[in-house]
A and B are shown apart, each in its own frame.
Chain A
Amino acid sequence: MRIAFTSKGTEWASMIDPRFGRTAFIVIYDEETQQFTAVDNSSVKNEAHGAGTATAQKIYELKPDVLITGNGPGENAAQAIKQLNMKIFIDAQEMSLKQAYEHYKNDRLKEI
């Protein structure tokens, strides 16, 4: 499975970014290949509107099966990512990516 995280940094020790649209990085962890990739999302920093939809498009291209995030996507982004067959887990803010992953594996994150 490919797991996507909204992240403040590029390491396993980085903290989850609670935001979806304006998340600093999108990190993808591929469980099969063990590949760990961080994608810079800072281009949305100056967007007045549409950060959510822009990020949704970016996430689509990365094709994750699971998304782990904090507050969850806003209205527009939520509409957009409904199109993807992706499970979304929220309330992982204040955890590192590693902790969030462990919580997810132990069914301790909330699915929406």
Chain B
Amino acid sequence: MTVISADGQAGGSGGSRPVIEVRHLTKRYGPILAVDDLSFTVAAGQVTGFLGPNGSGKSTTMRMIVGLDAPTAGQVTVDGQSYGQLRFPLRDVGALLDAGAVHPGRTARDHLAWLAASNQIPSGRVDEVLGIVGLAGAARRRAGELSLGMGQRLGIAAALLGDPPVLIFDEPVNGLDPEGILWVRKLLQSLAAEGRTVLVSSHLMSEMALTADHLIIIGRGRLLATGTVAEFIERSEGHHVHAQSPDAAALAGLLRQKGAIVTADGTEGLSVTGMESRDVGIIAAQAGLTLYELATQRASLEDAFMELTHEHGEYRAPTPAPQGTPA
């Protein structure tokens, strides 16, 4: 995993060739800097999770990728081309940015029909994607009458319409029930397995840990970290053992001799990193020291994410970024 230093440079993408390339992207809305010198790449054949708290600039970045908003500075290309250069771009990039963007009086099929026509996509594809997302039975229903979850499925159908090699989803599981969430997760993974480039945003690390292969984490419009989900899990579940002993000071000395990093945690508590709890227990027993508590503390992915985004969200320039293990 790569944690980004102050110069805002992106780490490696970790996958195959980069398809979406974001370079020094900046977007300013009046006094608000929504995206701040953001650089990253998204590779084909894997699901890339785009993570950040609400308001961190995910949606703005995605809007710039598909040419809806013009960057204040920097550039973004899809397969080497800027989106504005694409003719019939739905065949190249499918996007779900706002599932609520439908005319409530138009039927689901008509909604997809005008989109298909705009990019000369055969009209037969409309019923095909309605089938894929499980809305075949609702084709003639007006979009305004669809439930939140069905509306979300319609938005996903629109993204799939052009059978594009690149797919971008902004919070696709919003409003879905657990079954729907599972369905989206499998869909994204199968799209990636077909060799497509899949970028999906979320503010939930737990969801991304299950869905994505690769993560891009931003906070306040700046890149915070990139890396594979596996690397992220490894980092967040570091060896951290908590021990309680009446002979804490003596035990700390012994553990340090064996190479552990030990910090005091209260009068009788010790926080040990770089050693398994099993070894801590054996060392204490051999020295005849009493242990009345011994546990491995696992920080959750969510904690690691919170820590990362909080740190970078609240405090700006002076705090140096923590150094992670290189990707």
Same complex for A and B? Answer no
